[in-house]
């Protein structure tokens, strides 16, 4: 299975669109080195997808991002969200 990787610019545009236009909340679980790190975009309602963004290092100077959508968040992610103060 091929994994799609996205640039920092594409992820930034994606985050801005979801937060500003659709009311999502962006929660950073782990700071990134060259990119956005590990973050979750929490949907404002039950019938919308949540998005999980993870930074993938390519080499010493570049990184890319994996973006996954999830109908429900796993117990692990919910625990990590509560640890950073998101309830």
* Per-residue model confidence as pLDDT tens for the chain (87 residues): 457 899 999 999 999 999 999 999 999 999 998 899 999 999 999 899 999 999 999 998 999 999 999 999 999 999 999 999 886
Quick check: is 14 in a domain? Answer: yes
Quick check: is 2 in a domain? Answer: no
Quick check: is 65 in a domain? Answer: yes
Number of domains composing the chain: 1
* pLDDT in the model for residue 81: 93
Predicted structure pTM score: 0.90
* pLDDT in the model for residue 5: 94
* pLDDT in the model for residue 2: 53
Quick check: is 3 in a domain? Answer: no
Closest CA to 27 of 5, 50, 46, 1: 50
* pLDDT in the model for residue 1: 43
Quick check: is 41 in a domain? Answer: yes
Quick check: is 26 in a domain? Answer: yes
Residue 41 sits in which domain range?
A: 8-83
Bridge-partner residues for 38, per DSSP? 30, 54
Quick check: is 1 in a domain? Answer: no
> Within 10 Å of residue 58's Cβ, how many Cβ atoms?
11
């Amino acid at each position: 299975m091929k994994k799609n990787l996205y640039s920092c610019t594409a992820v930034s545009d994606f985050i801005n669109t979801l937060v500003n236009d659709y009311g999502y909340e962006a929660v950073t679980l782990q700071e990134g080195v060259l990119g956005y790190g590990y973050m979750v975009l929490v949907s404002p309602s039950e019938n919308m997808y949540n998005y999980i963004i993870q930074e993938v290092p390519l080499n010493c100077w570049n990184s890319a991002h994996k973006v996954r959508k999830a109908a429900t968040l796993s117990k692990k992610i919910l625990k990590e969200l509560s640890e950073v103060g998101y309830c």
